[in-house]
């Protein structure tokens, strides 16, 4: 299952174009009558096919930035270009198409529907794409095979371990064949062995060309990335070493 061909371009020596370009991004909102400046003028390029982790204190703006990268929110000012689409100026319909086709999401809490099987949970991500039933079934099988759960397709979340549930969530994210995978604390609910299991899956996807952006409090996770960012008081610093 090849997600995109960014790594092939890199191997050929061609410089990778930014998949994200953020310029002057701020995000302000009101909370209990006071102004909160969640992002304070973020300028950031992320290359296609990169593996980036974002760390920082609680309340530093990490979740806000991830929501903006995922076209779930808009900046108060500035531009956020994903491919050729400026998320800041896109219509709601355009943002919906970006989320449906370009971006996969993985969350700390798995967000699986407990009454549905692994196959059915993954299949739900394909509903907006309008694919034929046989194509949907083939994609779901392929995604579950890719995360090592082909033999658990009929199992419901309650019949799976935490690591297996997160792998179902990853399969749901990649079944759309997105260009970007955004993960918010994807190992936060897992023990160390399961954490390493999930990281191995994510690293394999990145090696196949998927742009991977992970928010994490775990420095052991962050050190696995090619590029490390720290977000604090709404500003970003590159701390890659």
Task: Write the pLDDT tens digit of every residue in 8-30.
Answer: 444 444 556 899 999 999 999 88
CB 211 within 8 A of CB 19: yes
Residue 236 pLDDT exceeds 50: yes
Judged on CB neighbours under 10 Å (0-12, 13-18, 19+), 70 is: buried
Map residue 41 onto helix, strand or coil. strand
| HSE (side-chain half, CA atoms, 13 Å) at 238 | 9
The sign of the CA dihedral 5, 108, 241, 200 is negative
CA Rg value for the chain: 18
Give the pLDDT score at 5. 40
Give the pLDDT score at 115. 98
Task: Write the pLDDT tens digit of every residue in 198-229.
Answer: 999 999 999 999 999 999 999 999 999 999 99
- Residue 223 tokens, joined: 């050190």
Task: Write the pLDDT tens digit of every residue in 151-165.
Answer: 999 999 999 999 999
Domains of the chain: 47-73+91-238 (3.40.50.300)
For residue 4, name the pLDDT band (cuts at 50, 70, 90): very low
Which range among 1-5, 168-172, 228-232 shows the weakest confidence by mean pLDDT? 1-5
Average pLDDT, the chain: 91
Answer yes or no: pTM beyond 0.75: yes
Task: Write the pLDDT tens digit of every residue in 62-105.
Answer: 999 999 999 999 999 999 999 888 988 899 999 999 999 999 99
């Amino acid at each position: 299952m090849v997600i995109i061909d960014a790594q092939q371009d890199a191997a050929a020596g061609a410089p990778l174009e930014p998949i994200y370009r953020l310029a002057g991004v701020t995000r302000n909102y009101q909370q209990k009558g006071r102004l909160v400046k969640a992002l304070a003028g973020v300028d950031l390029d992320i290359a296609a096919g990169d593996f980036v982790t974002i760390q920082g204190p609680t309340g530093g703006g990490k979740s806000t930035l991830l929501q903006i990268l995922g076209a779930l929110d808009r900046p108060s000012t500035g531009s956020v270009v994903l491919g050729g689409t400026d998320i800041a100026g896109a219509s709601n319909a355009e943002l919906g198409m970006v989320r449906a086709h370009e971006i996969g999401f993985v969350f700390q809490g798995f967000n699986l529907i407990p009454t549905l099987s692994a196959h059915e949970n993954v299949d739900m991500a394909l509903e907006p794409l309008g694919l034929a039933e046989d194509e949907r079934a083939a994609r779901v099988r392929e995604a579950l095979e890719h995360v090592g759960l082909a033999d658990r397709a009929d199992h419901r979340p309650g019949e799976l371990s935490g690591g297996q549930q997160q792998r179902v969530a990853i399969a749901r994210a990649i079944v759309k064949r997105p260009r970007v995978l955004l993960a918010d604390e994807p190992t936060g609910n897992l023990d160390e062995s399961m954490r390493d299991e999930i990281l191995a899956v994510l690293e394999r996807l990145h090696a196949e060309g998927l742009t991977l952006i992970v928010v994490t409090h775990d420095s052991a996770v962050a050190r696995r990335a090619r590029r490390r960012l720290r977000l604090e008081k709404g500003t970003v610093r590159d701390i890659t070493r």
